[in-house]
Structure 1
Amino acid sequence: MNVSEIDVITPKSVLECLEILAKNRGEYRLIAGGTDAVVRMKDGHFRPSVWINSKDLHSLSFIKQVENEIQIGPLCTHTELIRSPLIREKADLIVEAARQVGATQIQNMGTIGGNVGTASPAGDLIPTLYVLSARIELSSLNGKRVIPVEEFFLGPGKTDMKPNEMITKIIITPQTENELGIFEKLGPRKSQAISIVNVACSLQMDANRKCLGGKIAFGSVGPTVIRARKCESMLTLANLDEEMIENIGEMAWKEVMPISDIRASAGYRRDMAKALLKRGLFRLMKRWEER
C-alpha cells in the first residue's frame, strides 16, 4: 500500500472530529504535523485505515496563562513554543527542548500534541512536561477528563487515551521567580536525530546556592520517561557543589533503566544519563550565580 492510497478525513471543528472518533474502533488515527507518523507509516510500522487530519482545528492552537497554570493547545508547533514570550519566561526548559527537535522544517510542522500522542520514550518535549507537573486534557463526546502526565504514558507508543478521545489541552505549572530549568540531549547528530538519552531538570533555589526542591526526568532510558526520584531527594541535602553534583550523577547511573538497541548499549546510556545530568546541574548553578 502506498501512502497516497490511505484515506484522509479533515474535520473543520473539534466537535466534528469527536463525532468521527466516537465511531472509531481502531481504524482511525489522528495526525497533526505528521513528522513522526508519516515516517513510521513508510517504514511499515503503522498503517491506519484512515488518517484524521487535525491541522484545520485552529481552536487547538493556543498558549495562554489562566490563573496559576499555562495552557497549551496540542496543535502548537515547536516553533510557536520557541517564540512564545510566556513559555520563554515561565517554562524555559520547553524552549530548550523544542529547539532540539529536528531541523527548522520539523520544528515548523511538528506539534506538542503529536510529540505527546506518539508516546515515544525518546520524545524530547515529554521529560520537560514531567518536571513541569503537566496534565493532559482528553476530550470525547462523553465529556472531558484531565490526567497527570505520568499516568498518561503506559509504555512505548501506548497511552491512556481511548480510541474515541483526543488531546485538547496540555496544562503545565509555570516556573516561579526562583526556579530554573534545563534540557540536555544526546543524539547521533546535533538537533537532527532521535535522542539516545535526554534529561529535563527544574530546580527551586535560594540566594545561598541551596536547592529548595526540584524535579528530574530522563527520556530514552526506560519504557516511558523516568522520574529520577532518588536523585531528586538528594538535591536538598546540601549545597549543589561539585562533590554533591557528582554524587547525584552516580545515583542517576543507578536509577535509570535503559536497554541496548541499535542506537546504543544499556551501559553507554547509563554513562550518558549521568554525564548529561551533571552537565545540566553545573549549567543551572552557573545561570543561578549569574542572576
Structure 2
Amino acid sequence: MYVSEIDMLSPHSLLECLYLLENDKASFRLLAGGTDAVVRMKEGKWQHDCWLNLNNIDELKFIAIEKDEIHIGPLATHSEIISSPLLQDHADVLVQASREVGAAQMQNMGTIGGNIGTASPAGDTIPALFALGASIELTSITGKRQVSAEDFFIGPGKTVAFPNEIITKISFKIRGKHDIGIFQKLGPRKAQSISIVNVAISLSMKEGTKECLGGRIAFGSVGPTVLRAKKCEAMLSLGELSNDMISNISSVAWKEVMPISDIRASASYRRDMASALLERGLYRLMKRWADNERKPL
C-alpha cells in the first residue's frame, strides 16, 4: 500500500461525520492533525478502507471557559494551547506539555484530540490531562457520554471509544488559586516527539507554607498506558515538601512505575529517570511556589 493510495472523506459538520460513522459499513480512521498518519501507514499500520478528515469541522475547534470548567475542542492545535492566555493561567501543566510535542511544525499541525486518540503511552499531553483530572466527551449519533481521562485508555493505541464515537470535548476544573503544575520530559532530542519518560505534576498548596494539601502525579512511557503514581501522591500531604520529603517521594516512584525495555531505553534506565524527573519537578515547583509567596501584593 502506497501512502498516496488512500480514500478520504472530509465532512463539514459534526452531524455529517457522525452519520458517516454510524451508517457506512467502511472501516474508518479519523484524521485530525495527521502528524502520525503517514509514519504509521509507512510502517504498514493504520490501513483502513477510508479516512475521515476532521479539519473542516469548525465545531471542534475551541478553547473556552464555562462556569468553573475549561473546555477544549479536539481540533485545538498544540500551538493554540501554548498561546492561549486562558490555559496559561489555568492549565500550565498542559501548556508545558504541548511545548514538548515535537518541533514547531508539529505543534502547528498536531491536535490535542489526535494526541488522545492515538493513545500512545508516550503521548505528552496525556499525563497532563491526568494531572488536571480531565474528562473526555465522546459523541455518537445517539448521544454523548463522559469518560475520565484515566478510564479512557486501555492499552497502547487502544481506548474505550466505540467505532461510531468521536471525541468532541476535553474538560477539567479551573485550578484553585494555590494550585501549581509542571511537566517534565526526557527525550533523545528536543525535536523528537517520543518521550523516553515524562511526568506531569499538579499540586494544591497551603498558603504561606510548604505544605501540600494534595496532588496528582502521572507518568508516561513507563507502562502500557499513562500511569497515576498514587503511592507517591499519598505522600504529598504527609508533611512539608522539604528536600528530604521530595527525595523520599521520588524514591517511591522507582518502585511504582512499570516500564519495559525497548529500542529507546532499558526498563532500569526508565525507572531511574522517572524518579529523577519527579524529584526535579517537585524541586522546581517548590522553588516557584516560594518565589510567588515572596512577591509583594
TM-score bracket, normalised by the shorter chain, equals over 0.9
Matches within 5 A, 1:85-124: 85-124=85-124
In structure 1, the residue matched to 2:230 is: 229
In structure 2, the residue matched to 1:15 is: 15
Letter in 2 for 1:66: E
Between the aligned partners of 1:26 and 1:138, the Cα distance in structure 2 is 20
Indicate if the aligned counterparts of 1:24 and 1:164 stay in contact, CA closer than 8 A. Answer: no
Deviations 1:38-72 (A, max 9, x none): 21111112211101000000110001111111000
In structure 2, the residue matched to 1:284 is: 285
Find the residue that maps to 1:198 and give its secondary structure.
strand
Matches within 5 A, 1:266-281: 266-281=267-282
Deviations 1:122-149 (A, max 9, x none): 0000000001111110001111111111
Letter in 2 for 1:116: I
Indicate if the aligned counterparts of 1:24 and 1:163 stay in contact, CA closer than 8 A. Answer: no
Deviations 1:87-116 (A, max 9, x none): 000000111000010000000000000000
Deviations 1:239-278 (A, max 9, x none): 1111111100110000000000111000000000000000
TM-score, normalized by length of structure 2?
Answer: 0.96
Do the aligned partners of residues 86 and 132 (structure 1) sit closer, same or farther apart at CA in structure 2, a change above 3 Å counting? same
In structure 1, the residue matched to 2:163 is: 163
- Measured after TM superposition, the shift of residue 26 of structure 1 is 6.6
How many residues in Structure 1 have an aligned counterpart in Structure 2?
291
Do the aligned partners of residues 184 and 261 (structure 1) sit closer, same or farther apart at CA in structure 2, a change above 3 Å counting? same
In structure 2, the residue matched to 1:244 is: 245
In structure 2, the residue matched to 1:51 is: 51
Between the aligned partners of 1:107 and 1:25, the Cα distance in structure 2 is 33
In structure 1, the residue matched to 2:139 is: 139
Deviations 1:167-197 (A, max 9, x none): 0000112211100000000000024230000
Runs of 4+ in 1 over 4 A off after TM superposition: none
In structure 1, the residue matched to 2:175 is: 175
Percent identity reads 61
- Measured after TM superposition, the shift of residue 25 of structure 1 is 5.2
Between the aligned partners of 2:116 and 2:278, the Cα distance in structure 1 is 23
Indicate if the aligned counterparts of 2:29 and 2:46 stay in contact, CA closer than 8 A. Answer: no
Unmatched segments (≥5 aa) in structure 1? none
Letter in 1 for 2:155: G
Indicate if the aligned counterparts of 1:10 and 1:54 stay in contact, CA closer than 8 A. Answer: yes
Which stretch of structure 1 is more off in the superposition, 251-260 or 41-50?
A: 41-50
Between the aligned partners of 1:24 and 1:201, the Cα distance in structure 2 is 42
Unmatched segments (≥5 aa) in structure 2? 293-297
Find the residue that maps to 2:199 and give its secondary structure.
strand
Indicate if the aligned counterparts of 2:184 and 2:198 stay in contact, CA closer than 8 A. Answer: yes
Do the aligned partners of residues 15 and 194 (structure 1) sit closer, same or farther apart at CA in structure 2, a change above 3 Å counting? same
Letter in 2 for 1:260: S
Between the aligned partners of 1:268 and 1:205, the Cα distance in structure 2 is 31
